[in-house]
Chains A and B, each alone.
Chain A
């Protein structure tokens, strides 16, 4: 509309100069205004992250001042005596994520290798799309499946076998001790692994695809086998990107709530056995927050959230930094 006015103004010549100047002023004003609005929206995104930080800090303050540094080093979690220590959830978060990574990273890399080097061309796109779609499935679906399918399966078949096999072996026997509950740290780690697998696979495939074909063809031309090309050409070239992708997956695993809450068992204690129930930071918050009575209890749970946020922030920041480096190299 406004453009039309200036257009016609131009066509008619200097007939209505005042009107034209007026229209131009309006246009300039609209431009300045739009610039300001978009800029403030961008700043708002920054403030959002700052707001999350500040809100969590303020909420966690009572717990942090009461318990001090002991909060992260003690294990007791007792709502009755109002004694709270975050060691058990922190331990659970780290161990479940570690199990998830130990399973998902080799699997993800092998699948990415399959997709980029071995898979026939016609099947690459459908499998790739299927994996990307699976990455979008909400975590609660994985959780409900873990509770009703994976946990009973592990309890009936896998865990008794683990106990029987490693029962006599030193060190390992304590890792696989106790009755097979089905739910527990190991089950939670495996569910996380299944959940993170699509992420790691699709990122690894993307970075593998970014390797210049010349490099691979040169290696194949020298007579290298597929594995040697992967091991000595593709992996060294994409190392940074792969680590970035793994860290991104780790960030997801650390913060994942629903998939874990279903199968972890919510027990505030650290046990050496992977078969025993435990808890993670996010599962503790999800299970207890709405039932928490008393300011100190609520504040302790928010402090847990703060710790989780700080851990994932660091992991994700490193991941993004590494992936950014790859992008710069590529483009």
Chain B
């Protein structure tokens, strides 16, 4: 057990927990976040992606101890923002959501990309999303959604 302090969705958190727990399990079990999902459990599929200090990270391979002093943003917090609204509307309009299991992670990846590169080319979008697997869409509608979000949300990022 160890005292671990971090910011979660803009809220200060201090917990006494086993620092070896996977961040994914803590977010799901302790904070009851359903938007952070387990797809592969080894950092490959991106369904559990969160932002840690604005960088996209797969929470299934992060020990809780590693987030001490850091800022975590999950889809639950991110969905309160204006940028999220632009992205999710673009996802809906382009048909980028099918089964939805990859979607929150995909949206986090979209934010991470646009945050670093507000006007990405198609190739940059494809590379930016390549850490997130989707089996339903063939990705094209997601790529189009990110392109459209970058345009409609111009100035937000």
Partners in one complex: no
Q: Which residues of A approach B to under 8 Å, CB–CB?
A: none
